[in-house]
Structure 1
Amino acid sequence: MIASGAIGELNLIEATMGRNDPTGAWEYPPPLDLSPQNLDWDTWLGTAPKKPFDPYAFARWRCWKEYGTGVAGDLLVHLISGMQVSLGINEVPKKASAFGGIYRWKDGRNMPDVHAVLFEYMGIPVYMRLSLGCEMGEVTRFQGSKGLIELREFSVTYAPQTGEDSAPSYYSGGFPAAMRAQYTKEWHEKHDPPPGQEPAPQTITINGNDYDDLRPHVWNFLEAVRSRKPVVQDAVFGHRAALACHMANESYFRGTPVQWDEASGSIKSMA
């Protein structure tokens, strides 16, 4: 629908997702018998800074940038992937600028529990928001000059717009009476459709049954094995989606907008 021009010229994309419970915020309980005797702690740390054995760091690794990628790696990647599939693109954002903080889960973590990111894709703004402090279903909105398409977990909404005034401008209220009457008359002569040809924009929502997104991924993979045809989200697709998430984190921790430098294979600050 987007490619066919159903919403006109695309000019903004926004997406959001949120949780509001301890499990959703990765406050997982460590295994009761976890100890240095059954976990090679130094190997688990790898190249991360050395620290004493910490069962909570092991169980809740997403909470710290030394071990994980936070809401960007857990949730943002799904918003990015869904957007790219919907648009039929496979790109790295031109730039990213992030803001957020730790507002809900003040448990010693250093990864933000609210993370808002403004990307640039295809020359247009893409605004994505993640929160671990308020439950919100996954929503993506594609906004254009002729309407919008909203994707939710189990529904699609199409809301067309004419992009035109539906009545004479309120600004004419400051005109002298005779001028206002003339303007109003000319406006209706120019804009009123002939009888029976009035546009009838109608918002349409299609609700689906509960959707298991695991099955299509598995099926696509198995079909690729059988046919040797490419999968929808191959390694390059995954790399570029993940790279957008790394850019979101780098921008947050550096406090500056960032961009991907293909030549050096690194994320660089723009400030």
Structure 2
Amino acid sequence: MTNNRRLFLKKLGLTGAAAAITPMAFANEPNIKSFLQRNSAFQEGSPIKLGLIGAGIMGVEDMTTALRHPNVEIVAVCDLYKGRQEAAKQRWGDHLFLTSDYKELLKRKDIDAVLIGTPDHWHKQISIDALGAGKHVYCEKPMVHSVKEGAEVIEAWKKSGKIMQIGSQGVSSLGNEKAKELLAAGAIGDIVYAEGFWARHSPEGAWQYNVPADGNEKTVDWKKFISNTTDRPWDPLRFFRWRNYLDYGTGMSGDLFVHLFSSLHFITNSLGPTKISSMGGLRYWKDGREVPDVLLGTFDYPESPQHPGFNLSLRCNFVDGTSGTTYLRIVGTKGSMDVKWEEVVVKMNSNAEDDDPFLKEQAKLRGGTEGRAKILPPRETTYAAEKNYKGAHYDHFANFFNAIRTGGTVAEDPVFGLRAAAPALLCNDSYFQNKFINWDPKNMKLI
């Protein structure tokens, strides 16, 4: 057993524990599907009243998921486009308080927590103001629009004493939890490499969002939208397709790479990479956007107390015949894991079991000297969530609501959120500046 594996097992309290990998996974069969279940009970507790700030695609999805939980209510919605305010009333009821000014929403005493689903350039200030107003905060990823904003959010969160959860929901998924357990147990040996891929093809997936016919300066508070960035004349594309523009969005890496960083850091306990580089280009969606539609990133994770040194490569493609493809693959010295939010597929090398002390320990724990083949892992094992699993998004909100009701902690607080956002945002800096970026993940500072 390597020192790194001993460290993993010790840190998670798994030393010598065969239970870290389910007995089913060691049956001598070519491929086994072991079902993952959410066993921990979520607290229902007292009612939690919510306000939504930013009622676009993700804001609506967040609120819809939040309201699936018992004793959770929506009382107010803020959006700069009046069409979304009216849609919110039709969706959730005439009782809603509607506004274009988020500060008016924050003044309300009947709101316990806010969900922030605005464009990225408003995440920092609204989060700080909400925490200052005594509200718990669920903020969509990435937590900030630039790395330099991170320290302000973390300071405001710590000062407030409130709960803040960042919205990379995969962190609360059964798939990520199982992958973390398997890696710690040495199922694929020591990590040496990881890769992630995210592909989209449809116009909506490539940020070609619908521009409503009534979207104009009378129905949109454009001046408020741009008040913290460059002053420009009204532009419906910049408002409704904001992800395409650097003043408001964070490109492919801020939208999608950040999910992969969040999952990887959760699974490995990593603080992040120290060297970041990227390249790409605008290959297809030549619609005036300022960011690439193909992006490749490479990252160096040095040896640390949490894990061995390894390298990461990430890819994102907005014109792809495999529309919707996404995965995170973690490669170790004995095998690999393909990790999705609801599934983990473990693939073993052909010689993975040869003279492996870890598997010998497994054999002893099973009382067996009679045929080591019975305890050898199959070449490929799938762990999949049961059909009644409510999903990572549901669990991420359960995590948030539990913390509010019990005074506990969340899976993705602002410190974790910045460490996931930073390499994604610095990926953009590398691309536009055409250079390597050096980052201190422990102290969360540029070098």
What interval of TM-score do these two structures reach, taking the shorter chain for normalisation? 0.7 to 0.9
Matches within 5 A, 1:102-251: 102-122=282-302, 123-134=309-320, 135-161=323-349, 163=351, 201-208=378-385, 209=387, 212-251=391-430
Alignment partners' CA distance in 1, 2:391 and 2:442: 39
Alignment CA distance shift 1:29-1:87 (3 Å):
same
The farther-off stretch of 24-33 and 140-149 is 24-33
The Cα of 1:267 is off from its aligned counterpart by 4.1
Alignment partners' CA distance in 1, 2:339 and 2:377: 22
The Cα of 1:71 is off from its aligned counterpart by 1.2
Tell me the equivalent position of 1:257. 436
Alignment partners' CA distance in 2, 1:81 and 1:31: 33
CA contact (8 A) 2:265 2:272 kept: no
The Cα of 1:98 is off from its aligned counterpart by 0.5
Alignment CA distance shift 1:262-1:242 (3 Å):
closer
Between the two proteins, the alignment pairs up a number of residues equal to: 239
Instruction: Compute the TM-score of the two structures, normalised by the length of structure 1.
Output: 0.79
Letter of the 1:138 counterpart: T
1:75 is paired with a residue of what secondary structure? helix
The Cα of 1:79 is off from its aligned counterpart by 0.8
Alignment partners' CA distance in 2, 1:223 and 1:240: 23
Alignment partners' CA distance in 1, 2:220 and 2:202: 28
Structure number, greater radius of gyration: 1
Letter of the 1:35 counterpart: N
Alignment partners' CA distance in 2, 1:219 and 1:101: 39
Q: CA offsets, 1:189-235, max 9 Å, x none?
A: xxxxxx96566752111233365221111111111112212111011
Tell me the equivalent position of 1:179. none
Letter of the 1:246 counterpart: L
The Cα of 1:76 is off from its aligned counterpart by 1.0
Alignment CA distance shift 1:265-1:43 (3 Å):
farther
Letter of the 1:143 counterpart: V
Q: CA offsets, 1:45-76, max 9 Å, x none?
A: 23433332110111101001122101111111
Matches within 5 A, 1:68-107: 68-89=249-270, 91-107=271-287
Q: CA offsets, 1:171-193, max 9 Å, x none?
A: xxxxxxxxxxxxxxxxxxxxxxx
Q: CA offsets, 1:103-156, max 9 Å, x none?
A: 121111111111111112243111111111112422111101111111134321
2:208 is paired with a residue of what secondary structure? coil
Alignment partners' CA distance in 1, 2:198 and 2:185: 27
CA contact (8 A) 2:419 2:444 kept: no
Letter of the 2:382 counterpart: T
2:431 is paired with a residue of what secondary structure? helix
CA contact (8 A) 1:137 1:152 kept: no
CA contact (8 A) 2:274 2:441 kept: no
Alignment CA distance shift 1:32-1:202 (3 Å):
same
The Cα of 1:40 is off from its aligned counterpart by 3.4
Letter of the 1:88 counterpart: N
Alignment partners' CA distance in 1, 2:310 and 2:259: 20
How much identity, in percent, do the aligned residues show? 33
1:77 is paired with a residue of what secondary structure? helix
Tell me the equivalent position of 1:182. none
CA contact (8 A) 1:116 1:128 kept: yes
1:204 is paired with a residue of what secondary structure? strand
Alignment partners' CA distance in 2, 1:211 and 1:136: 20
In terms of fraction of residues, the more helix-rich structure is 2
The Cα of 1:162 is off from its aligned counterpart by 5.1
Alignment partners' CA distance in 1, 2:333 and 2:244: 40
Stretches (4+) displaced over 3 A:
195-201, 261-268
Alignment partners' CA distance in 2, 1:202 and 1:264: 40
Question: Which residue among 209, 215, 238 is the counterpart of 1:57?
Answer: 238
CA contact (8 A) 2:196 2:327 kept: yes
1:2 is paired with a residue of what secondary structure? helix
Instruction: Compute the TM-score of the two structures, normalised by the length of structure 2.
Output: 0.49
Letter of the 1:158 counterpart: V
